[in-house]
Structure 1
Amino acid sequence: MHNQNKILRVLQLITLLKKQPAKSIRFLAGILESTDRTVYRYLDLVKELGFELQKDHNNKFQIFGEDDYPSISFSKEEVSLLRDLVLSTGKDNKLKDSLLQKIYLQSELAIQGNHVLKANLGRMIEKINSSIFENKRILLKGYHSINTQVISDRIIEPISLTDNYNSVCGFELETKLNKYYNLERINEVVILNESQEFNKLHQLDELDVFGFSERNGEKFIVELSLSLRAYILLKEQYPKIGKHINKELKSEKYNLKVNVNNPKPITRFILGLNDEIKIIGSNKFKNYFLKNKI
């Protein structure tokens, strides 16, 4: 059972790392219910399996690029070894590494690993919906804040889930502010036996393409020239940004012009691909970038 759990956690880790944004070791340890040292060992295994693992300047990790193996089938020998691995025999076999790679790409265990993550998010969504219906407060246990880089518990009065079920908007009791919380950064949702009291202060703000409301900071106009690679990666990471990007005529460059409520996400993205992105407009954002690029 130990080896089976290890495989499932590695699969869950791969699933997490293939989703944007990049994740910190502390965040991954919280989601996987493991220690930081264990997560580092899992990351070594992920690299051994052939995935291109990238670390940004904030020591956060993600898997870069598309799968290089679009269609793979198992041999009889690999199927046999897979059965042995799942049954936790732990045999030492040369087929092991190639098999683990294929498990993620094309096996029921890959689906199961993804379902582990999705099932947890599904339970959170169910609890949040119930608390809204019952007009109850909820406790967000172990929320991982990107802005403060702090893991803490938050008590909120939930207002609504976003249309894509990525976040919940809630009135935070400690700060008396309406905020959005990414579900993937929550370890657990607990419904409290406390009725909501601040309904008159509940407010849903329109989010920018990065998921930030007007209350999250100062507004900026961002204008960029992107390479094809930068364009693809930005659309993958933030799908809603696509309608704000236009391709230059007779060129492989793409132009972005968008209003944002928080410049931190796009600043981090530019820093990761600095040679493939040029800031072409908005002196206000240029000055912000120059002050925060180190």
Structure 2
Amino acid sequence: MFNQHKIYRVLRLITLLQNKPSKSVRFMANLLDCTERTAYRYIDLLKQLGFEVQKDEHSKFYIVSENADIDEGFTTEEANFLIEMTKTAGKENILKDAVLKKIYLKSEVSQQGNLLFKAHLSKLVEKINKSIAVNKKVVLKHYHSVNSNKISDRIVEPIQFTENYSAICAFEVASKQNKYFNLERIIDVEVLEEPQEYQEQHQVEKTDVFGFTERNGEKFEVELQLSLRAFILFKEANAGLEKYITKIENSDLYLLKVNVNNPKPITSLIKGFKEELEIKGSKAFMAYLKAEKSFKI
């Protein structure tokens, strides 16, 4: 039987890997406050329980979402009862792990894992809001940069959150640049006593649906034809995409049309669901995909 701390880590890891983007082992170890070796053991445990844990092209891990196929669930009490009954079947019962996985996915236990993750993000928002109110600098602890693939502390002057509170626009002291920092990649926030000193350089740049600002005037027009499953999974991966998706009349298909400043996030989504969609354009985006060595169209 798992102890309480181990259950917390497993729930948090499941929730973490079900949320985009994919996570490195180092990032998971930092977030779960454990060694990288222990993080690998938790990944192996998830695989043993039947979760489809996969690596992307950068050797980062994610769980293939199956929530779209889940309709009606169990209460926590019902799930715990079924779990105990299932465990009595013995280690050699090949159905046990599959049943345990389905109980988890169809129960309130899964929702509790999401609540733990959301509670962590809420604390970060609260601390950053406090720093904005009193014009103080903050340290974004162990921030995981997708561009550099490094984890480091960032001293910043927070400016404002994005509309959906998924990122914070802030002036980074070291680089003297205004940047967007994804909340899911922040381990913790420390509010400093130092007052903000670069407010005249603060600037909020307009971002695309993935939180990326425009660089060198370059934009990519993306047009995808989605199946119903892809439509659901795209919404789960990024709720902001829904307003750019329309249903195609007299069919079960959907059309996504959106402009992005950075084509990498949408390309990662396409790679995960290539069998569930058709790429329509544009020329610039198609040229980018053809140039991707790890991507075939």
TM-score by length of 1: 0.84
Which runs of 5 or more residues in structure 2 are unaligned?
91-95
SS of equivalent to 1:211: coil
SS of equivalent to 1:59: coil
Deviates more, 1:224-233 or 1:6-15: 224-233
CA distance in 2, matches of 1:76, 1:184: 29
Indicate whether 1:65 and 2:66 are aligned. Answer: yes
Aligned match of 2:134: 134
Change (3 A) 1:45 1:217: farther
CA distance in 1, matches of 2:168, 2:35: 28
Contact map agreement 1:225 1:279 (CA 8 A) in 2: yes
Aligned match of 2:287: 287
Change (3 A) 1:222 1:9: same
Aligned match of 2:181: 181
Contact map agreement 1:17 1:23 (CA 8 A) in 2: yes
Which amino acid is 2:107 matched to?
Q
Which amino acid is 1:62 matched to?
Y
Q: Percent identity?
A: 50
CA distance in 1, matches of 2:113, 2:237: 21
Deviates more, 1:225-234 or 1:170-179: 225-234
- 1:129-168 superposed Cα distances (whole Å, 9 cap, x missing partner): 1111111111111101122211111111100122322211
SS of equivalent to 2:3: helix
Contact map agreement 1:11 1:104 (CA 8 A) in 2: no
Q: Shift in Å at residue 286 of structure 1? A: 1.0
CA distance in 1, matches of 2:183, 2:16: 13
- 1:43-75 superposed Cα distances (whole Å, 9 cap, x missing partner): 222233333333322222223211647323556
Aligned match of 2:258: 258
Which amino acid is 2:81 matched to?
E
CA distance in 2, matches of 1:284, 1:136: 42
CA distance in 1, matches of 2:111, 2:79: 21
Which amino acid is 2:180 matched to?
Y
Contact map agreement 2:50 2:101 (CA 8 A) in 1: no
CA distance in 2, matches of 1:29, 1:204: 32
Contact map agreement 1:78 1:99 (CA 8 A) in 2: no
CA distance in 2, matches of 1:188, 1:101: 32
SS of equivalent to 2:147: coil
TM-score by length of 2: 0.83
CA distance in 2, matches of 1:155, 1:114: 28
**Aligned counterparts, 1:1-294, within 5 A:** 3-63=3-63, 64-66=65-67, 68=70, 70-72=72-74, 74=77, 78=81, 93-94=88-89, 102=103, 105-106=106-107, 113-215=113-215, 218-294=218-294
